[in-house]
Amino acid sequence: MSGQFIDAEVWPEGSLEVLSRFEVDQLQSSGSGGLYPLLRRCMLAVLNADSHMDDARVLLETYRDFEVGFIRQDRGLKVSLKNAPAKAFVDGKMIRGTRELLSAVLRDIVFTRNEIIDSGRFDLSTSAGITNAVFHIIRNAQLLTLPAHVNLVVCWGGHAISREEYDYSKRLGYELGLRGLNVCTGCGSGAMKGPMKGATIGHAKQRIRGGRYVGITEPGIIASESPNPIVNSLVIMPDMEKRLEAFVRLGHGIIVFPGGVGTAEEILYLLGVLMHPENAGQPLPMIMTGPASAEPYFRKIDDFVGATLGAAAQNRYKIIIDDPQEVARQTAAGLEDVLSFRKEHGDAYYFNWRLKIDADFQRPFVATHATMSELQIDEGLPLHVLAANLRRVFSGIVSGNVREDTAARIESEGPFEIDGSRQIMNLLDDLLASFVAQHRMKISSGDYDPCYVIK
């Protein structure tokens, strides 16, 4: 061990199944079809838990000599780490929670490649096939617990938030924990960590020993949003769209804290899904909240939603400012409506099969200069199509901010060009400018250099 680096050998901990020799060879291979680059990236992010670094390139450069290997023994598989982040260890021993998250990385990478992508069992060109794949990844991660209860609250929000906003998210998490509610987030820092941290105290006071702190991530963002150490159930979905679907299939209610473009993407995704006619009568409580200082942020988003998607979309959420107790009370009341609805229709409590999600919200979107410039954004589109394309705009900006491959493409070819109707472009430009002014884009780069231009 030397300073910030350490070499170690660790036994996986948790839900990892025994790996075959073929699977180990896959994980060790850097060639075509090999999983080593993906494995290394995700493991490094887990070992760097609780980091305030949100630039993947800086992380990967800092630990450029980090290596992962495997030692086969009669007792099972041992993981060998070289030049790993020392913060993942205490007195030379890896923190147990970190070992569990490392096992989750192994489990999900192997399962997704062999059982979802290569097996031929899932038709990922169809909406039903994608939902089926999401279900199986979640089930394999042991997130579908029985007996099931309607008590999982998804909390969205940014990692680049102020201390005041972070403390507010903790206070609300505490109120959720006191009411016996569990928390699911994107597993990173900021508004993803705060609700979990608060909930642990609420659960402790209520002597709840089985509190769930579920983290859902994907390989493209895990290096810039390393899992926080409170997560006790981690799942790595193969792409952003399946990650978003996992949130709304698993969760029973949604709370949105202040954030930036990533949070705006999540809001537009959910509103686009809820606005489908088949979802009109289905309850899924959604509350946007933060301290008094965050009110301008939410009013800006509310104005944008109203001007682009209309009053019907605005009616699907509430905005409650600076009142964590009231948010928790209304969330708990909303979950009672969800419970009644699912009882009435004989629906599962653990996975929302009934929710209709169009393929436009499921197909993976890869942000390139071509795909971003080709997005159609104008008032003449059906609202669910407009919501889907706006979601892709924000997804592309997130990718330009946090993915090292996208950032390198932008450095080479210039910023993404976003074009559409003049009215919506003005609204979008104004919204994004407010995110920049409020320092909600990135926390590692100082002054923000936009990865986009509005035409």
Considering the domain architecture, whether residues 304 and 443 belong to the same structural domain is answered as yes
Considering the domain architecture, whether residues 163 and 284 belong to the same structural domain is answered as yes
Q: What is the CATH number of the domain that holds 69?
A: 3.30.1850.10
Which of 74, 97, 121 marks a domain boundary? 121
Q: Which helix (H) or strand (E) holds 304?
A: helix 295-308
Angle at 242 between CA 25 and CA 364, to 5 degrees: 90
pLDDT at 160 over 90: no
Q: Is 76 left (phi over 0), alpha (psi -120 to 50) or beta?
A: left
pLDDT at 1: 43
Considering the domain architecture, whether residues 71 and 166 belong to the same structural domain is answered as no
Considering the domain architecture, whether residues 201 and 336 belong to the same structural domain is answered as yes
Residue 47 Cα distances to 22, 160, 378, 421, angstroms: 25, 20, 44, 45
What values do phi and psi take at 19, rounded to 5?
-95, 140
Range of the domain at 243: 122-455
Considering the domain architecture, whether residues 85 and 175 belong to the same structural domain is answered as no
pLDDT at 437: 87
Higher pLDDT, 194 or 2: 194
Considering the domain architecture, whether residues 170 and 88 belong to the same structural domain is answered as no
Banded pLDDT at 57 (limits 50, 70, 90): confident
Banded pLDDT at 337 (limits 50, 70, 90): very high
Average pLDDT value for the chain: 91
pLDDT at 455: 85
Considering the domain architecture, whether residues 96 and 147 belong to the same structural domain is answered as no
Return the axis-axis angle of helices 127-140 and 240-250, rounded to nearest 10°: 70
What proportion of the chain, given as a percentage, has pLDDT over 70?
Answer: 95
Q: What is the CATH number of the domain that holds 251?
A: 3.40.50.450
Which of 61, 95, 121 marks a domain boundary? 121
pLDDT at 14 over 60: no
pTM (whole model) above 0.75: yes
Which of 58, 90, 121 marks a domain boundary? 121
Name the β-bridge partners of 85.
Answer: 5
pLDDT at 21: 78
Considering the domain architecture, whether residues 105 and 139 belong to the same structural domain is answered as no
pLDDT at 18: 66
Domain count, the chain: 2
Considering the domain architecture, whether residues 232 and 154 belong to the same structural domain is answered as yes
pLDDT at 61: 83
Considering the domain architecture, whether residues 305 and 222 belong to the same structural domain is answered as yes
pLDDT at 405: 85
Considering the domain architecture, whether residues 175 and 97 belong to the same structural domain is answered as no
pLDDT at 83: 93
For residue 212, what are its two tokens?
Answer: 């769930």
What contacts 144, CB < 8 A, 6 or more positions away?
138, 350, 351
Considering the domain architecture, whether residues 256 and 332 belong to the same structural domain is answered as yes
